[in-house]
Amino acid sequence: MSSKSFLSNKERDIITSEDIEVFKKYKESHEKMKIIGTHSGTFHADEVLSTFLLKFHPEARDSIVIRTRNNEILKQCDIVVDVGGIIDPKTYRFDHHMKEFKEVLDEKDEELNKIKLSSAGLVWKYLGIDILNNLLKSINLFEQNKNHINEIFKKIYLDFIMGVDGLDNGVTQYDKDIKPKYKLVGDFNQRISRLNPEWNVENVDVNERFRKSWDIAEEEFFYYIKNYANSYFIAYDIVLNAVNEAIKENRVYFILEKYCPWKKIIYEIEKKLQVENRFLYCIHPGNNNRWCSTAVNLNENCMELRKPFPEEWRAKSDEELQKITGIKDAVFVHASGFVSFWHFKKSAIKATEISINHK
């Protein structure tokens, strides 16, 4: 995929106005284009993402945006997101601020029924499949993924859009009595928020800032598109085959003959095969023709390891490590015990088996 923006300059057209006459002239000058309405003032990740996603829906492929809180203007827009007090997918109205609003992505799915939707989640729920189909066709990835559309739809929501929904609706990531040990900065919501004008700065072109926010949305969204449509299912099959082989041989480690992303996939496979928490290590090729054995985390959201390498191996390398392990081609074990390096595959396997049996 090209690094060039998927949106043309014309599609990036935005105005902010509460004046109905200004809107009428704007509409007349763009008579062949659909108009998406969203609110003026401070912008947030959800309407940035929802307006961006709409650009890939057949109904709004050629569209422009007006930012306003004038209901007379909003009534004349083809699509309205995050403002207007109406949820009606048939008329392309996607607001979530009503007191009675409690909609989630899928009531029947335990993973998808915990977070109330924002405008981004609403657009994804009702138009996401069409957006995916349209987009994948435009980048020649539809045929290889046509049997995975629903899976991609769900994964992009869980990994990306649900976080936007949660933050916009004030849902905390942690229970109130849990204090994070450190802060993570630079996520999608924060990057969008930073583009709003500083409180003490005047004469800022907010429309231009909003356009820049689309660049961030494009970067983030296409990362997930590329990951899931271009590589994820290939990697999934590779890991699944390795896991099945390990189960057949009654091993609690699996071996990848060629490296592929596996750290997220292994939990999905364990759950699918009903062998949750079985696997302790993954052995795979590393850099410089070495082999790695990597310890598996307790779960996807936890840094703690199911079984780290022995304490006496950690932060040791070369001759010192070779002496402790009895393995002649030992290279290095990380200080935290999460990964070890060996010159040969057979040595990585031997070290892993020693670690498994270590008390």
Q: What is the pLDDT of residues 72-94, one digit of tens each?
A: 999 999 999 999 999 999 999 99
pLDDT in tens, 99-131: 999 999 999 999 999 999 999 999 999 999 999
Domain membership flag for residue 1: no
168 and 304 both lie in a single domain: no
Residue type, position 64, single letter: I
Residue 32: which pLDDT band, with cuts at 50, 70 and 90? confident
Q: List all residues 6 or more positions away from 85 whose beta carbon is below 8 Å from its beta carbon.
A: 95, 97, 98
Amino acid letter for position 304: E
Whether 52 and 43 have beta carbons less than 8 Å apart is answered as no
Q: How far is CA 18 from CA 45, 70, 101, 104, 140, in A?
A: 22, 5, 26, 31, 41
- Residue 322 DSSP symbol: H
Residue 10's pLDDT is what? 67
* Domain membership of residue 14 as a residue range: 10-231
What pLDDT, on a 0 to 100 scale, did the predictor assign at position 175?
Answer: 81
Least confident of 96-100, 229-233, 238-242, 290-294: 229-233
Kindly state whether residues 100 and 135 are assigned to the same domain: yes
Residues 76 and 156 in one domain: yes
Task: Classify residue 245: in a domain, yes or no.
Answer: no
Q: Which residues lie across from 276 on neighbouring strands?
A: none
The yes-or-no verdict on residue 302 having pLDDT over 50 is yes
Domain's final residue, options 168, 200, 231: 231
Task: Give the pLDDT confidence of 308-356 residue by residue, as tens digits.
Answer: 999 999 999 999 999 999 999 999 999 999 999 999 999 999 999 999 9
pLDDT of residue 334: 98
| Long-range pairs of 225-228 with CB within 8 A, sequence gap ≥ 24 | 225/135, 225/136, 225/139, 225/141, 225/156, 226/1, 228/145, 228/148, 228/151, 228/152, 228/155, 228/156
Mean pLDDT score of the chain, rounded to an integer? Answer: 94
What is the total count of domains within the chain? 2
Q: Is residue 4 part of a domain?
A: no
Beta strands in the chain (DSSP E): 14-16, 34-38, 63-67, 79-81, 87-88, 93-94, 253-255, 281-285, 291-295, 330-333, 339-342
Residues 164 and 293 in one domain: no
Asked whether residue 3 is domain-assigned, the answer is no
- What the block records as the tokens of 68 is 């306003």
Asked if residues 34 and 81 have their Cβ atoms less than 8 Å apart, the reply is no
Pick from 231, 259, 282: which residue ends a domain? 231
Sequence-ordered list of residues with C-beta below 8 angstroms from that of 227, at least 6 positions apart, any chain: none
- Residues 113 and 21 placed together within one structural domain of the fold: yes
Judge whether 241 lies within some domain.
no
- Alpha carbon distance 242, 29 (integer Å): 59
